[in-house]
Amino acid sequence: MMPVEDFERELKERKEQGLYNTIRKIGSPQGAWIIVDGKKVLNLSSNNYLGFANHPRLKESAKKGIDDYGAGPAAVRTIAGDQLPQEQLEEMLAAFKGAEAAVLYQSGFCANLGTIPALVTEGDAIFSDELNHASIIDGSRLSRAKIIRYPHLDAEALEDILKQERGNYAKAMIITDGVFSMDGDIAPMEKLADLADKYNCMLYVDDAHGEGVLGKSGRGIVDYFGLQGRVDVEIGTLSKAFGVVGGFAAGSKLLAEVLKQKARPLLFSSAPTPADVYACMEAVKILQESDELVNKLWDNAKYFKESMSKAGFDLGKSQTPITPVMIGNELTAQEFSKKLFERNVFAQAISYPTVPKGKARMRVMISATHEKKDLDFALEQFTAVGKELGVI
Ligand SMILES: Cc1ncc(COP(=O)(O)O)c(C=O)c1O
């Protein structure tokens, strides 16, 4: 029997503290304007950076995937075999990333849960940025390696820690988000690569929010820093800029071989569907053909951020299209989101535990699907609510 009173008390506390999640009903495909709970609103909440989630070419490809290979794989890859397109997508992703090989997972979350424990274990160490994503934290815990956190983005502090700790462990790995999803800042990859060399560590970056966004035609963070061959693992997700669902790990042929033997989501959970795989192959093709959408995304982000800063908002330390609008108090952030929605703008308040207590914010996700007039509308509504709630 579930201890009903305990759970009810916990849920009540969450509501009182402004920490209770309410999942909205989306009544349309993803895009600049969407139907949320029956109302047409400007969408500033999704990770649909390039508009691929409802792109005609991806939709066509997904349908072809179903026609060619059916609705689902009906099996774990290592038990019933690979359908051809999964391997094809792995090859395309590796080439896109400038890596030797890539291994496909069911999601970015699964990619971290599978890859980290395949590479380190008890007696090893993980040096982890203190603001790393939940899936890195969970993957690290599953590995049973010692987790040693370092201050956010602080390579100097990490070096001090490495000097003291590295000698106590067999294998070691430095792990970081590439783009931090709640702040939009970027990991100092060159410094981390130097430290990985100097202290004999593997280097692991989760590029979930860099893919399709950073680097040439959205090739991601390793391309952005020109670090090909110096990063052991580059995790990607196919559910943000790629607009579909799935994840992968890119790196050496050896990495791929190890993961295909040891990564548990690959050994014990079914493969992504043919529709997902075909749609993702089309996304890679579009990015290889042109950087038009990536450029539009960055133009939009620059335009919106400059206007919001001029209006007096604190946008934190973002270096990417992820735009946090800092509020502080959790209840004010929830109120902000509610008032924006009344004004036909869908932007989510992000609070603890996703970000630290007292650092609640509105998280604005800019997309290439937005037109300038959409961003002007957003600015107008943010300014009105910001003044009403005393944020600006
Ligand atoms: C840094 C990071 N890694 C992994 C994930 C999980 O990706 P997916 O949605 O594909 O499971 C996210 C998504 O929020 C993320 O921000």
Examine domains 10-43+291-388 and 56-289 and report if their fold is the same.
no
Answer whether 176 contacts ligand 1 (Cβ < 6 A). Answer: no
pLDDT for position 352: 83
The rounded distance, in Å, linking the Cα atoms of 306 and 37 is: 31
83: left (phi over 0), alpha (psi -120 to 50) or beta: beta
Q: How far is the CA of 236 from the centre of ligand 1 (A)?
A: 8
- Nearest residue (CA) to ligand 1, atom 10: 108
Q: How far is the CA of 111 from the centre of ligand 1 (A)?
A: 9
pLDDT for position 204: 98
| Other CB atoms within 10 A of residue 141 CB | 14
Q: Tell how strand 39-43 and strand 33-36 pair up.
A: antiparallel
The rounded distance, in Å, linking the Cα atoms of 390 and 392 is: 5
End-to-end CA distance of the chain: 49
Q: Tell how strand 202-206 and strand 233-237 pair up.
A: parallel
240 catalytic? Reply is: yes
pLDDT for position 359: 93
What is residue 35's three-state secondary structure? strand
Answer whether 108 contacts ligand 1 (Cβ < 6 A). Answer: yes
Question: What is the CATH code for 56-289?
Answer: 3.40.640.10
Answer whether 300 contacts ligand 1 (Cβ < 6 A). Answer: no
Question: What is the CATH code for 10-43+291-388?
Answer: 3.90.1150.10
Q: What's the chain's Rg over C-alpha atoms?
A: 21
Give the side-chain half-sphere CA count within 13 A for 49: 31
Angle, vertex CA 204, rays to CA 349 and CA 275, nearest 5: 65
Per the CB < 8 A criterion, the answer to whether 173 and 142 are in contact is no
Answer whether 107 contacts ligand 1 (Cβ < 6 A). Answer: yes
Is residue 23 within a helix (H) or strand (E), and if so which, with residue range?
Answer: none
The rounded distance, in Å, linking the Cα atoms of 244 and 17 is: 34
Q: How far is the CA of 208 from the centre of ligand 1 (A)?
A: 6
pLDDT tens digit string along 141-195? 999 999 999 999 999 999 999 999 999 999 999 999 999 999 999 999 999 999 9
Give the torsion sign (CA, 71, 74, 80, 86): positive
Give the torsion sign (CA, 211, 177, 160, 197): negative
Give me the catalytic one of 240, 305, 359, 370.
240
* DSSP annotation of 349: E
The rounded distance, in Å, linking the Cα atoms of 116 and 346 is: 35
Mutate to test the pocket of ligand 1, among 135, 205, 233, 363 (most ligand atoms within 8 A of CB): 135
Cβ neighbors of 390 (< 8 A, separation 6 or more) are none
Q: How far is the CA of 368 from the centre of ligand 1 (A)?
A: 20
The rounded distance, in Å, linking the Cα atoms of 238 and 232 is: 20
Residue 220: both structure tokens together: 């991601």
pLDDT tens digit string along 187-234? 999 999 999 999 999 999 999 999 999 999 999 999 999 999 999 999
Q: Where are the domains of the chain?
A: 10-43+291-388, 56-289
pLDDT for position 190: 98
Ligand 1 atom closest to the Cα of residue 136 is 3
pLDDT tens digit string along 229-282? 999 999 999 999 999 999 999 999 999 999 999 999 999 999 999 999 999 999
Phi then psi for residue 126, to 5 deg, are: -120, 125
> CA nearest 284: which of 142, 88, 130, 113?
88
